[in-house]
């Protein structure tokens, strides 16, 4: 068993190393997927290659300080907001890329969709944006603010630090039905892998980013079928630990009640989420399936037994998430003056 674990650790280490190298190359503007146009000598840049760690160094050098200070005060009052900001960022990037389309507040927008009803943190981004506009008017996008806020929220609950490249523009379109493109907790692993691959994320990113469920809560309505009518059997999901099942049924006597995603350390950003999966105490079926599916089970085991792997890779995967579908071209998007609305013509 020890030899097998060592082999597994070595394999995971190689994957992490390659991912870290890929992340570093992207940060430096280097891409293995670039190519030269026929007859030309210039490299073709992907949209995310235009992002930069120095993007606001001259135009808004105090940006990250403003976000950190504003967010720290709000999370200190209510630490559940950290998970809400991370989730808001995830929902944004999985629909049309990281363009702050989830923040647009109008009839028929992603924000108005039924699947978005439990999202929180909009007011926090509004408050940060308002403060940023005072210091750096018409300069910083809502998309960049949301990405940086997700990073800082992670740190404030004990998670790792990573550098955030900036330069995203805000999108002009937000459509309610497209909000269904975000995983909603009922998918199988094959469906999850496909949803992540569509957004340029791999299976390792899937398992790592699912680890953000080490903090936060879920409504009982999201797990009601798993508890009382799994696969229309009128029975509970047999993969749930029996003691945990009794606890959840007692806790979820009302659909509008909430339960922690991590039963063991719900307020600390750590690897215990993965240990919970090994004990069959994952709250969402999409979480527990990561351990029961042979394609992802070994990753779960490695992350549960070696916390440093989770710490190292989480920042790498979050950078990749923040690069999804970004608008960086001269004629793409805009810098919204108010995150809730597109600018007036």
For the annotated binding site, the residues are 92, 95, 97, 99, 101, 110, 183, 213-214, 262, 265, 270
Assess whether 72 carries a catalytic annotation. Answer: no
Shortest CA distance to 127 belongs to which of 187, 205, 72, 90?
72
Instruction: Provide the phi-psi class of 44: left if phi over 0, else alpha when psi is between -120 and 50, else beta.
Output: beta
Pair 284, 185: CB distance under 8 Å: yes
CA distances from 103 to 88, 106, 135, 311 (A): 9, 9, 21, 29
Local structure of 93: helix, strand or coil: helix
Q: Which of 57, 72, 91, 301 is catalytic?
A: 91
- What distance in Å separates the CA atoms of residue 271 and residue 312, rounded to the nearest whole number? 12
In the annotated binding site for heme b, the residues are 213
CA 172 to chain CA centroid, nearest Å: 22
Phi and psi torsions of 282, nearest 5°: -80, 135
In the annotated binding site for substrate, the residues are 183
Pair 237, 226: CB distance under 8 Å: yes
The 3-class SS string of 244-263 reads HHHHHHHHCCCCCCEEECCC
Shortest CA distance to 146 belongs to which of 343, 332, 326, 269?
326
Show which residues are catalytic.
Answer: 91
């Amino acid at each position: 068993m020890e030899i097998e674990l060592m082999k597994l650790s070595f394999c995971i280490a190689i994957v992490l190393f390659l991912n870290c190298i890929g992340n570093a190359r992207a940060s430096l503007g280097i891409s293995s997927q670039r190519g030269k146009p026929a007859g030309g000598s210039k490299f073709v840049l992907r949209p995310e290659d235009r992002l930069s760690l120095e993007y606001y160094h001259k135009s808004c050098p105090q940006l990250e300080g403003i976000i950190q200070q504003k967010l720290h005060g709000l999370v200190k009052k209510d630490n559940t907001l950290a998970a809400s900001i991370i989730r808001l960022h995830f929902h944004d990037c999985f629909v049309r890329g990281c363009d702050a389309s989830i923040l647009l507040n109008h009839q028929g927008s992603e924000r108005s969709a039924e699947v978005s009803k439990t999202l929180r943190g909009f007011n926090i981004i509004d408050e940060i944006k308002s403060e940023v506009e005072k210091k750096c008017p018409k300069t910083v996008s809502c998309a960049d603010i949301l990405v940086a806020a997700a990073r800082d929220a992670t740190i404030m609950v004990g998670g790792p630090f990573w550098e955030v490249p900036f330069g995203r523009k805000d999108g002009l379109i937000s459509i309610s039905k497209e909000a269904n493109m975000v995983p909603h907790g009922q998918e199988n692993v094959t469906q999850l892998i496909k949803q992540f691959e569509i957004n340029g994320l791999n299976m390792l990113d899937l398992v790592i980013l699912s680890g953000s469920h080490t903090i936060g809560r879920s409504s009982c309505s999201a797990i009601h079928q798993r508890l009382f009518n799994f696969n229309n059997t009128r029975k509970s999901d047999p993969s749930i630990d029996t003691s945990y099942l009794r606890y959840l049924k007692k806790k979820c006597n009302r659909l509008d009640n909430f339960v922690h995603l991590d039963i063991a350390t719900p307020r600390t950003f750590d690897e215990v989420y993965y240990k919970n999966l090994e004990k069959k105490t994952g709250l969402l079926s999409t979480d527990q399936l990561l351990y029961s599916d042979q394609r992802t089970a070994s990753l779960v085991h490695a992350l549960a037994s070696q916390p440093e792997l989770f710490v190292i890779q989480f920042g790498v995967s979050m950078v990749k998430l923040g690069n999804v579908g970004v608008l960086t071209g001269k004629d793409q998007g805009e810098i919204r003056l108010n995150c809730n609305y597109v600018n007036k013509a």
